[in-house]
Amino acid sequence: MKIVSTKKAPQAIGPYSQGIIIKGMLYASGQIPIIPESGEIIEGDIKVQAKRVCQNIEQILKEAGSGFDKVIKTTCFLSDIEDFADFNGVYEKYFVSKPARSCVEVSRLPKDVLVEVEVIAAVE
């Protein structure tokens, strides 16, 4: 088992790792739209926040030796399911391989963000 940690993605805001690699698979913690350099939430609508989340995921994938093309499953949490179409517009630009996915509305997310996404990916 290997812990994944990069300063190019937000540091954990609780007792967890950015990701864990075990048996050739990366299990990444959910990412919210935090700007890694400042630790602040990026201001903006679902499109702006979803893009930041995907950029954070990209850095964790890179650190793990993986990439968006190796993601096999995502779980997406939206604070408002009415944002589904706008979220998908951003999501599909990053997850072009169309991994398996769950997407649900939740009553609240950490720091009152609009979106959180976690991934499971193969690691070379």
Q: How many CB atoms lie within 10 A of CB 102?
A: 10
Question: pLDDT tens digits, the chain, 124 residues: what are they?
Answer: 999 999 999 998 789 999 999 999 999 999 999 999 999 999 999 999 999 999 999 999 999 999 999 999 999 999 999 999 999 999 999 999 999 999 999 999 999 999 999 999 999 8
What domain range includes position 117?
2-122
Identified catalytic residue from 25, 42, 48, 103? 103
Secondary structure class of 110 (helix, strand, coil): helix
CATH number at residue 68: 3.30.1330.40
> Residue-wise over 62-87: b if at least 16 C-beta within 10 A, else e?
ebbebebebbeebebbbbeeebeeeb
Annotation marks residue 103 as catalytic: yes
Residue in this structure with the two tokens 């050739």, named with its chain if needed:
24
**In this structure, is the dihedral angle defined by the CA atoms of residues 42, 93, 72 and 70, taken in order, positive or negative?**
negative
> How many Cα atoms occupy the beta-carbon half-sphere of 92 within 13 Å?
6
Contact 92, 76 (CB under 8 A): no
The predicted structure's pLDDT at residue 48: 98
This prediction's pTM: 0.96
Cα 108 vs. chain centroid, distance in angstroms? Answer: 16
Give the count of domains, the chain: 1
